Amino acid sequence: MLYAGKDDPLYQRIESTLMLAFDGIPKVETPTKKDSRLFQLRIYESPSDAKAKKKVEMFNTGGELAVFRATGMGPVFFGETLVGTKVPNLTYMLGFDDEAAQKAGWDKFLAHPDWIKMRDDPQYKDTVSNITNLVLRPAACSQI
């Protein structure tokens, strides 16, 4: 459909993003292959480059990614946006067996003592100014 018409466009717009993988998850992972799986895509916008770097640090060396893993929240990817919209931001995706696993994972995460300590640590205050949260279901041909 290279020459789709105005009244029957193939798409609205194309948007491209270039991200740098987090040190803690340098490659895409496949946490589950269940037919009932779902993915949660989250974009954390930051008010400044310094705050964005601090949030990436919170995941990489501050322990937030470790808490995700410990609470059954399977990472697919984590990336710092270098080029794209809503910069500065980071984007990550989690995979779950189903909706019940997603809810259980977030309940465990929010109650985890290491998360509570990080959340209340002044160095990480105001690192996120807006969150986009999308729940996605994979297509039959999905590689993840």
Residue 88 lies in a domain: yes
Residue 3 lies in a domain: no
The CATH number of the domain where 97 resides is what?
A: 3.30.70.100
- Among all chains, which residue has been given the structure tokens 């509570």? 116
* Helices first, then strands: H and E counts in the chain: 4, 5
Whether this model's pTM surpasses 0.85:
yes
Residue 80 lies in a domain: yes
Q: Which domain holds residue 123?
A: 32-136
What would the pLDDT profile of 117-140 be if each residue is shown by its tens digit?
999 999 999 999 999 999 999 998
Nearest to 42, CA basis, from 107, 106, 123: 106
Residue 128 lies in a domain: yes
Residue 10's pLDDT band (cuts 50, 70, 90): confident
Contacts for 8-16: CB closer than 8 Å, 24+ residues apart: 15/84, 15/85, 16/83, 16/84
Residue 93 lies in a domain: yes
Residue 120 lies in a domain: yes
What would the pLDDT profile of 18-65 be if each residue is shown by its tens digit?
999 999 999 999 999 999 999 999 999 999 999 999 999 999 999 999
CA dist., res. 121 & res. 115, Å (int): 10
CA dist., res. 98 & res. 90, Å (int): 24
pLDDT at 36: 95
pLDDT at residue 3 greater than cutoff 90: no
Number of domains within the chain: 1
pLDDT at 1: 53
pLDDT at 9: 83
What would the pLDDT profile of 83-118 be if each residue is shown by its tens digit?
999 999 999 999 999 999 999 999 999 999 999 999
CA dist., res. 57 & res. 48, Å (int): 14
